[in-house]
Amino acid sequence: MKKRILTGDRPTGRLHLGHYVGSLKNRVRLQDEYECFFIIADLHTLTTRPERTGELEENIRQLVIDYLSVGIDPGKSTIYLQSQIPEVAELSFIFSNLVTVPRVERIPTLKDVMRDSNIQIPSLGLLTYPVLQSADILMVRAHLVPVGKDQASHIELTREIARDFNRLYGETLPVPEALIPDDIGTLPGTDGKAKMSKSVGNVINLSDDSETVRKKVIGMFTDPARVHGNEPGKVEGNPVFVYLDAFAGDGDMKKIEELKNRYTKGDIKDVEVKEYLFEGLERFLVPIRKRRAELENQPELIDKILREGTEKARTEAQETLKLVLDAMSLNYFSVKR
C-alpha cells in the first residue's frame, strides 16, 4: 500500500518557474511513488486577503490548469478544493484545543506572513492558520508532507497535534513526516532578489507567452559589476546561469560550461547568454503552453477533475472526522447505536 502525501498551493495567482523548480517538478515525480492529495487551499487566502474573494474562481481554475499542464495527472492524484470540505473546519476547531496561543505565535511561517503582508496584529484566522494547515494534513491522514530543508519545522505543529491526540484518545492519527527531496531548489527572481515572488513581480509565469518571456529574460539581472561584455563576469549566483542550470536539457551542459568559461573571461556579452537561456526556456514552455491552450477550451473538464477530486477528499475527511469523534466519545448517536 502506497504512503499518502498532502501538499498544495493557495490560489493567489498563476504559477511561475520558481514553483516548478521548487515543488511542481517534484510533485510530478512523487505521484508515481505515492498516493498524492493536492490541496487548493482557498480558505487560507482569507487569512491575508479576505477582501479579494472575487478573484478566487479564476485563480482556482488557472491553478488547476497549471497543475495539469506540467504533468500532474488526475488519474494518479487527487486535486481538491479546501473550502468544499466542511469537515476540515470541525477538525481544525478540535485540534485548536490541543495548542496554546504562545505555541502558535512561535511558528516561523506566521511571522513571515505577517512581515510579507505588512500585518502588525494578526486576525484570529491568521493566528490559527497553522492549526487549519494541520487539519488539512491530518484530514487525509497523510504520512508525508513534501517540504524544503529549511521548512521541515513547519510541520512540527502537525506532528505535535497528532501525538497529543493519540496520547489523549488512543492511536487514531498517523504522525506525518517531512519529505525532503535531495534535489529540490529555488530560483532567484529576474531582478536578482533571492526568490521569485508573485507579489514582487520578478517572475516568469508558466503561462507567459513567448514575447513576454523574451522581454523578461533580456531584462534579467546579471553581474552588476560587469558593465561591458569584454569584462570578466561572475557566474556563481548570477540568475541567468542559475536558470540555465535549472532548465538544462539533454546535450545542454557542454554548451553551458562553454558559456560559463567565456563569461568569466569576458569573452561573451550578456545578451548572447540570455538568448541561449530564452531558447532553452522556450523548449521547456512550448509543450506547457500547448497543453494550457487545450485546457482553456475545456472548462467542463477542469470542473469535473476538481469536483471528483473534492468528492474523494471529502470522503476521506468524513472518515477521519468519524474516527476522531469516536475516539473522543463525542459521536453520541454513533455510540448509542
Known binding residues for L-tryptophan are: 136
Q: How many other C-beta atoms are found inside a 10 Å radius of the C-beta of residue 253? A: 12
Are 113 and 47 spatial neighbours (Cβ–Cβ below 8 Å)? yes
Q: 214, 206, 165, 162: which is closest to 22 by C-alpha?
A: 206
Query: Strand pairing of 144-146 and 177-179?
Result: parallel
What is the Cα–Cα distance from 301 to 295, expressed in whole angstroms? 8
- As annotated, the binding site includes 10-12, 18-19, 136, 148-150, 187, 195-199
**Secondary structure (DSSP) of 300-313:** HHHHHHHHHHHHHH
Are 27 and 7 spatial neighbours (Cβ–Cβ below 8 Å)? yes
What is the Cα–Cα distance from 143 to 155, expressed in whole angstroms? 12
Place of cell 470541525: 90
Exposure string of 133-157, with b = 16+ CB inside 10 Å and e = fewer, is bbbbbbbbbbbbbbbbeeeeebbeb
Are 41 and 199 spatial neighbours (Cβ–Cβ below 8 Å)? no
Phi-psi region of 68 (alpha: psi -120 to 50; beta: other; left: phi over 0): alpha
- As annotated, the binding site for ATP includes 10-12, 18-19, 148-150, 187, 195-199
Place of cell 533580456: 218
Q: How many other C-beta atoms are found inside a 10 Å radius of the C-beta of residue 183? A: 8
Exposure string of 275-314, with b = 16+ CB inside 10 Å and e = fewer, is ebbbebbeebbeebbeebeebeeeeeebeebbeebbeebb
